[in-house]
Amino acid sequence: MSIARKILLVILDGVSDRPIEGKTPLQSANAPNLDRIANLGINGIMDTIAPGIRPGSDVAHLALLGYSPYEVYTGRGPLEAAGIGIRLNEGDIAFRCNFATMKDDIIVDRRAGRIRDTMELTRAVQDGVQLDVEFTFERSTGHRAVLVLRGRGLSSHVSDSDPKHEGTPSRIIEALKPEAQKTADILKEFVIQAGKLLEKHPVNAERIKTGKAPANTILIRGAGMKPNIKTFSERYGLKGAIIAETGLVIGIGRICGLNHIEADGADSDIDANVRSAIDALKDHEFVLLNIKGADDASHDGSAEKKIKFITKIDKALKPILDIKNALVVVTADHSTPVSIKDHSADPVPVTIMGPGVRVDAVRVYDEINAATGGLNRIRAIDLMPILMDLVNRTKKFGA
């Protein structure tokens, strides 16, 4: 009759899918450890936001952590900023940026040949651009960067310059509300000045010489202010940690006050990440482990790759079966069907294993069997309350 004290939330990013020739990748993969977890736990399907709503990874993770994205989500810029460790102040506006390649005013590559080393280019922009407000421009992973504007009278109500498609000019940044005109003007000025600095930068001269796309312009999107979020410890009284590969997910964790733990291996070393997560349970009451990879395979449209990756995840998850006195939740942030190479609104499977759960008859971890489980159909926003109840940290409503 023990009661679980801790929570390990494992998010298999985009693992959930639709059937391909009759079977989803989870059904096709040989995954004895996932099946064992389903067998020992209570299962269900979960709408990350609501039936039919396609969740981005950002809003999905907010909901999984119990924060209503409709209340707290302020755009992707602030999350990306938090992901690389920038602390936003009240009134700051953060943007996601891409280094991109422009030729004759047309965006010919939105990722500048998937450039990886943007250190010098970023420094040139940060040091060379002169604006009427303070700003921070920092590199993120790959071709990505973050811009933060700081000063009086700024607004996040500006449109993106990123055209989303290649072969068209970048979009003109517009004020979506009158009070955002100043911000729009500053952004335009930033893009012009940065473009001039990048165009003549030796790194780009070198790239052109070696046949690579030059990172000669910056695309801007995802304007947002600091979200008003109570930290995890304020909200739940839990000391929490996050282990994840992607900056965005790390950023969400940081914004919610979770400690970001770097695994003792490469970012994509799943075994190391699982070990670190189990280890983190020693001095944290809540650990979120995001395992990327299945999602990437889906975005690439490869069922084979996805099935193979699920097998790999399954092997890495084996030590989780030995965890004692903690709830283990295995779920996904959204479905990413191989057939559409993008997120979908299909509900995700969810299993809760550990002391106190009402074990059901489900024996296999997949989307179809999950739907017959004891949780029936829940929403991600309900997951944390359910877990908090199971670890006996919930206050009664009424008497």
DSSP 163-197: -SSSSBPPPPP-BSSGGGHHHHHHHHHHHHHHHHH
CA distance 308 to 303: 8
Mask for 316-355, x = binds a copy of itself (CB under 8 A): ---------------------xxxx-xxxxx---------
203 binds a copy of itself (CB under 8 A): no
Nearest to 80, CA basis, from 279, 248, 301: 248
Q: Between residues 73 and 190, which has the closer beta carbon with respect to a copy of itself?
A: 73
Mask for 221-240, x = binds a copy of itself (CB under 8 A): -x------------------
Residues 178, 182, 188: CA angle, nearest 5 degrees: 115
CB of 367 to a copy of itself, least distance (A): 6
Q: Which of 86, 357, 364, 365 binds a copy of itself (CB under 8 A)?
A: 357
CB of 181 to a copy of itself, least distance (A): 26
What is the b/e burial string over 151-188, where b = at least 16 CB atoms within 10 angstroms of the residue's CB?
beebbbbbbbbbbeeeeeebbebebeeeebebbbebbb
What residues between 2 and 21 interact with a copy of itself by CB under 8 A? 2-3, 18-21
Q: Which range touches a copy of itself (CB under 8 A), out of 121-129, 140-148, 317-325, 357-365?
A: 357-365
Q: Which residues face 93 on adjacent strands?
A: 149, 225
94 binds a copy of itself (CB under 8 A): no
289 binds a copy of itself (CB under 8 A): no
**Number of residues engaging a copy of itself in binding (CB under 8 A):** 68
CB of 151 to a copy of itself, least distance (A): 26
CA distance 378 to 345: 14
What residues between 367 and 386 interact with a copy of itself by CB under 8 A? 367-368, 371-379, 382-386
Beta strands at 259-260 and 134-139: parallel, antiparallel or unpaired: unpaired
Q: C-alpha distances in angstroms, 139 versus 102, 120, 218, 385?
A: 19, 10, 12, 37
Q: Which range touches a copy of itself (CB under 8 A), out of 148-156, 209-217, 318-326, 359-367?
A: 359-367
Binding site for a copy of itself (CB under 8 A): 1-3, 18-22, 24, 45, 49-60, 69, 73, 76, 222, 248, 337-340, 342-346, 356-361, 367-368, 371-379, 382-389, 392, 394-399
